[in-house]
Structure 1
Amino acid sequence: MSIIRNYKLWLALVVLGVAVSGQIAIGKRSEPNSSGPSSKYFDAGRLLEDVKYLASDELEGRSPERPSIAKARDHVAKRMREAGIEPERQEFKFMPRRGKEELTGVNFIGRIAGRSKEKAGKYIVITAHYDHVGIQNGQIYNGADDNASGTAALFAIASYFKKNRPEHSLIFVALDAEEMGLQGARHFVANLPVAKEAILLNVNMDMLSRSEKGELYAAGTYHYPQFKPALEAVQKKASVKLLLGHDRPELGRDDWTFQSDHGAFHREKIPFIYFGVEDHPDYHR
């Protein structure tokens, strides 16, 4: 499993995700040599266990069309509780693109209240989808990178912020049915648990673990340049190469603006930063 070979990169990306979320939430512009979250705050073994289970054959590729998706949902709810946030089930109905029967999707929503009385009424929504494409032509597409990696990172980041509360409030959402047209994200955005105006930013994680060049992209600053200074501050001290890009319309298919769940937020004019790696041959495995 490629994600196991690249766990050091993946762990660094989790640390980076916390650093970025913390800087934006708290509003800091840290100096390059300032202290921040490091890998000592995370259990690499637990991260790997989450990915191994979510990407196991037992879960049959985590498709909402298969009964085994219930096991993935049970795991998501359990791990959110273990991270210290009580998951709220948000169920929704949708029609798959190439299906005749209506399906039920389930998002899991957890919150961490901000510690500042003045800023706790503003939210950052941190998302990762836990579904994948299931079984096709008799082959299980396990989806370790897409997106067991982001889902495991969601648990780790929630656990960190439960112990290190930021000034602003956080909403963590494990989204369903991304592979079927961003269905979970679209439902969540249409049924927000807080006022849209109270949301500062969506931080979305999708495909974090595999980059032969050790590169992570942060997309979104073309549309929302107000977040560029925070990302540039993190660039200077990141243990991986953080690049800004893949968010300009002239790039065509290489414009990632609508290619994952953050696209549903962007359509509603909710700012986003999307973390992910470029496509690779094994992203379905």
Structure 2
Amino acid sequence: MKQILPFLFLFVPFITQAQDSIAIKYAQIISQPLLKKHLTFLASDQLEGRFTGSVGQKKAAVYIANHFQANGLLPIVADSLQQKSYFQPFYIKKYFGEQYSVIHNPTAKNKKGRGVIATENVLGFIEGSEHKDEVIVITAHYDHIGTQNGKVNNGADDDGSGTTSVLAIASAFAQALHDGFQPKRSLLFMTVTGEEMGLLGSEYYTEKPVIPLSKIICDLNIDMVGRVDSYHITENDSNYVYVIGSDKISPKLDKILTEINETYTHLSLDYSFNSEMHPLQLYYRSDHYNFAKHNIPIIFFTNGEHEDYHKPSDDVEKIQFDILQKRAQLVFYIAWELAQGTQKLK
């Protein structure tokens, strides 16, 4: 990654909102030991880099589904027998080289054809009480680039850290629900596959949504949040997160982000990549974009690329669990505010 020059951050003054003691209580469930437990499995050699369609990717899918089930999240995907499942299966076609695309209407013939990959998104749902048809989606991609030249690319940061965050945030909301604090709005926790092939899992969901896109009020997407990029290492600053897209569709969402951060997590919100015209074009490079192009408000959270990006050295041992915890808690607090707030995002 090219060196990124720092932007001058301009913050609009606002009155900090009062802390919500209930939100603080459940944010503590997103602990470093819990994050480490999930990530140690998801980024282990036995999953062989979670390449889309591989045995390792499917082991990860089962792990995620089991976690959703154990925490009481609802399966909402109708399977072939019209029973509810956590899995949203779809098919990907591989073309010459490393070109892939979703098969939106597969036939029996091309399902079994050469170069067709069977895979699945994993979805878990918590229904809201007062505004259950207004849905907050929290996403991360759980696939990675597999094994190359005999070496496993475990993808601990990309995107084991985001997937782990989704699992921990789901646990926090599930415990709150168990204790009687049902959210006013519904929450869909979705880990997608095929991201490394071109955002294909989220593309498939937005083309064949289980919950209609008209009911989704925002997508909070988490992709690489467990490390520090080269620029912030040089600045000796790990207390940051890049935020992208929060002001693009709903300015209120960006205001909620800044207020929540000021109230609870006190991270430096770095907008360096927020422009769609930035050379790295990160606005277009993760799963939030498939929601944004349907005019759904989004926020993309990331730590940026580092020296181990897409390398076998992206391992659990290099994850900074203190900053991973803080970033995951920021997403939780935003989701909590959106789920319990009095007004719907416009």
TM class by shorter-chain length? Answer: 0.7 to 0.9
Moved more, 235-244 or 46-55: 235-244
Q: Which position in structure 2 is the counterpart of 1:31?
A: 17
For residues 284 and 241 of structure 2, what CA distance do their matches in structure 1 show? 18
Matching of residue 202 in structure 1 with residue 219 in structure 2? yes
Alignment check: 8 A CA contact 1:202 1:273 kept: yes
* Equivalent pairs, count: 254
Q: Which position in structure 2 is the counterpart of 1:70?
A: 58
**Residue type of the alignment partner of 2:61:** R
Which runs of no fewer than 5 residues in structure 1 stay unpaired?
1-28
1:32-83, Cα deviation, whole Å (9 max, x unpaired): 6554426533343222011011111111100024322221122111112122
Q: Which position in structure 2 is the counterpart of 1:17?
A: none
Q: Which position in structure 1 is the counterpart of 2:201?
A: 184
1:195 Cα deviation from its structure 2 partner: 2.4
Identical-pair percentage: 31
How well do the aligned residues superpose, as a CA RMSD in angstroms? 2.0
TM-score between the two structures when normalised by the length of structure 1? 0.82
Specify the SS of the correspondent of 2:284. Answer: coil
Q: Which position in structure 2 is the counterpart of 1:48?
A: 36
Specify the SS of the correspondent of 2:24. Answer: coil
For residues 44 and 291 of structure 2, what CA distance do their matches in structure 1 show? 30
Q: Which position in structure 2 is the counterpart of 1:122?
A: 134
Alignment check: 8 A CA contact 2:29 2:168 kept: no
1:30 Cα deviation from its structure 2 partner: 6.2
Specify the SS of the correspondent of 1:252. Answer: coil
For residues 69 and 250 of structure 1, what CA distance do their matches in structure 2 show? 33
CA 1:222–1:96: 2 relative to 1, 3 Å = farther
Which runs of no fewer than 5 residues in structure 2 stay unpaired?
1-14, 76-85, 100-113, 177-181, 315-346
Q: Which position in structure 2 is the counterpart of 1:237?
A: 263
For residues 150 and 203 of structure 1, what CA distance do their matches in structure 2 show? 11
1:211-245, Cα deviation, whole Å (9 max, x unpaired): 24221122112312221110110221343524152
Q: Which position in structure 1 is the counterpart of 2:290?
A: 264
Alignment check: 8 A CA contact 1:125 1:203 kept: yes
Greater radius of gyration (CA):
2
TM-score between the two structures when normalised by the length of structure 2? 0.69
1:194 Cα deviation from its structure 2 partner: 2.2
Moved more, 199-208 or 216-225: 216-225
For residues 93 and 181 of structure 1, what CA distance do their matches in structure 2 show? 14
Q: Which position in structure 1 is the counterpart of 2:241?
A: 216
1:150-185, Cα deviation, whole Å (9 max, x unpaired): 111111111111233321111111101111111110
